[in-house]
């Protein structure tokens, strides 16, 4: 596992984060949440932000999404300064937000319909995506008729129908049971392998980061800083069988040691 503080320059930059700093005020006290964060993400890369609770991972993701403004620094998405949410970036959280009164297909169609795509085209695109995520037989089901993993798949289909350049994932599998979580990790790896969408993925799980990422950004807490960026050289495609390999075990051990150092010496 090589240590590298930026992309290798072989592809264009999807995200260029420079000097991002963020404070929060509460009860008269001012807390430095992010301190001068730099990160460059190449188009098609899978990046994990790894760190303990309170290290600013989700704050950084929200700034990249345009939901929150930094006090200093800039974020660029494919060269454009981020000032607000945009269709180039799509955010998925722990709990998929589906409309309970719409069917699976209608949920996926919702975005294109709101942007003026005709109903027939939106319906066809939604059906194709639901087939791709393994839910072709559940297109007329309602969210309450689906399992947790199925609802997450619907959320991914709804994100992909808008063809975002970047997916921002905030611990999307943290609330799932262990079996569903493993299934969703494999699903996401397969999906990324097909689509090559740029992904910024927040997690506190060392094993998850080792399995998914091209590079892992280890963050220290209070204030949130990038302590280390490590390139994961485990061959792709990866599956759950990858976690049994010696290379994976070495990578996981090295990341855990790096995370422990970040907690002691931020």
Backbone angles phi, psi at 232, to 5 degrees: -95, 115
Of the chain, the percentage scoring pLDDT greater than 90 comes to 76
Weakest mean pLDDT among 1-5, 57-61, 109-113, 207-211: 1-5
- pLDDT score of 213 more than 60: yes
Angle (nearest 5°) at CA 217 between 214 and 222:
165
Report the C-alpha gap between 31 and 97 in whole angstroms.
31
CATH assignment, 2-88+164-264: 3.40.50.300
pLDDT tens string 215-254: 999 999 889 999 999 999 999 999 999 999 999 999 999 9
- Enter the pTM of the model: 0.91
Report the C-alpha dihedral over residues 78, 79, 83, 84, rounded to 10 degrees: -20
* Residue 9 pLDDT: 45
* Residue 85 pLDDT: 94
All structural domains of the chain with their residue ranges: 2-88+164-264, 99-163
């Amino acid at each position: 596992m090589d240590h590298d503080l930026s992309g290798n320059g072989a592809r264009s930059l999807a995200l260029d984060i420079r000097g991002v700093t963020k404070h929060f005020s509460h009860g008269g006290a001012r807390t430095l949440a992010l301190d001068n964060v730099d990160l460059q993400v190449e188009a098609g890369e899978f990046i994990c932000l790894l760190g303990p609770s309170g290290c600013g991972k989700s704050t950084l993701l929200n700034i990249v999404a345009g939901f929150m403004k930094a006090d200093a620094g800039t974020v660029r998405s494919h060269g454009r300064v981020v000032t607000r949410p945009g269709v180039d970036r799509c955010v998925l959280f722990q709990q998929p937000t589906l409309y309970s009164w719409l069917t699976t297909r209608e949920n996926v169609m919702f975005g294109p319909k709101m942007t003026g795509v005709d109903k027939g085209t939106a319906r066809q695109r939604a059906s194709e995506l639901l087939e791709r995520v393994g839910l072709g037989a559940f297109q007329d089901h309602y969210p309450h008729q689906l399992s947790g993993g199925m609802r997450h798949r619907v959320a991914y289909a709804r994100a992909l129908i808008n063809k975002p350049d970047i997916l921002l994932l905030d611990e999307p599998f943290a609330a799932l049971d262990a079996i569903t979580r493993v299934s969703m990790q494999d699903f996401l790896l397969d999906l990324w392998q097909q689509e090559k969408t740029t992904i910024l993925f927040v997690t506190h799980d060392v094993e998850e980061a080792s399995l998914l990422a091209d590079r892992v950004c280890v963050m220290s807490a209070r204030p949130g800083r990038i302590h280390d960026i490590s390139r994961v050289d485990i061959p792709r495609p990866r599956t759950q069988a990858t976690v049994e390999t010696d290379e994976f075990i070495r990578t996981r051990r090295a990341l855990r040691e790096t995370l422990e150092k970040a907690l002691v010496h931020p």
